[in-house]
Amino acid sequence: MNKIIIAVDGYSSSGKSTMARQLAQRIGYVYVDSGAMYRAVTLYALRHGMATPGKGVDVERLVNALPDIKIGFSVTPDGGQHTLLNGEDVENEIRGMEVSGLVSPVAVIPAVRHALVAMQQAYGRDKGIVMDGRDIGTTVFPDAEMKVFVEASPEVRARRRVLELQEKGAEVDYDSVLANIRERDHIDTTREESPLRMAGDAVLLNNDNMTREEQMEWLINLFNERARNN
C-alpha cells in the first residue's frame, strides 16, 4: 500500500489530537500535532514579555523573534509525544490555561502561520503522516488523500477538557473552560488567515455520541479505503 497524508481538522478539544495520535500509532505513521506548534510559539511570547494575559500580543516583536524559535518533537518510550521549544520539553506548560488564553491571537498572525505551515509541509514531504489542526486539509495539505473534520458540541468538549486537566492535577472550573472553548471557536472560525472550515473533500465525524473504539474503527475503515485507492 502506498503511504498517504491524513489531515485531521476540527474544533479545539474535539478529541482530534488523541484520535490522530492513536491512528498514527496503529498504522505506523508519523504524528504531528500542529496546535502544539502554535502553543509553543505562544509560550515563547509569554516568557519573553511579548504576550501578556489580558493585554494581548506584541506582534512586531514576536514576528522579529520568529527565527529564534525552534520547535521539535520527541517521542516518549510509551509512544507519547512531547513538544520541544528550543530543545526544552514544554509539553505540560503549553497545555495550561495561560497559553490556552493567548494562543488564538498568536495563531491569527500571518507571519506566524507562514513560518509554521512551511515547517508542517516539510514534515509531510515523505507522506506517511497524520497531522491534526485547523487548516491542515485546506491550507497545509490541500491534496491530502484522507481528510477528516471532527466536531462535537461545546459542552461535550468542555467536559472532556476539564477531565483531561484534572487528570494532570490542574484546578479547573467548567464555566471558564467552556467560555475559553467558545471564544476560541469564534476566533478560529472568523479569522481572516486560514479560518477553521471543513475542506470540500473532507469527511465529517461528529463524535458527541461515539466511544473511542467506535471512532478508531471508523478511522481505520476510511484509511484502508483511501490507502488502497492511492
Please state the closest distance from residue 120 (CB atom) to ligand DC, in A: 7
Annotate each residue in 87-106 with x if it binds ligand DC (CB under 6 A) or - if it does not, as one string: ----------------xx--
Closest CB to ligand DC among residues 128, 195: 195
- Using CA atoms, how far apart are residues 69 and 43, in angstroms rounded to an integer? 10
Please state the closest distance from residue 227 (CB atom) to ligand DC, in A: 23
Say whether residue 38 binds ligand DC (CB under 6 A).
Answer: yes
Of these, 133, 137, 202, 219, which contacts ligand DC (CB under 6 A)?
A: 133
Closest CB to ligand DC among residues 39, 226: 39
Closest CB to ligand DC among residues 183, 227: 183
Q: Which of residues 134-153 bind ligand DC (CB under 6 A)?
A: 134-136
Annotate each residue in 17-36 with x if it binds ligand DC (CB under 6 A) or - if it does not, as one string: -----------------xx-
- Which residues bind to ligand DC, rule: CB under 6 A? 12, 34-35, 38-39, 103-104, 107, 133-136, 184, 188
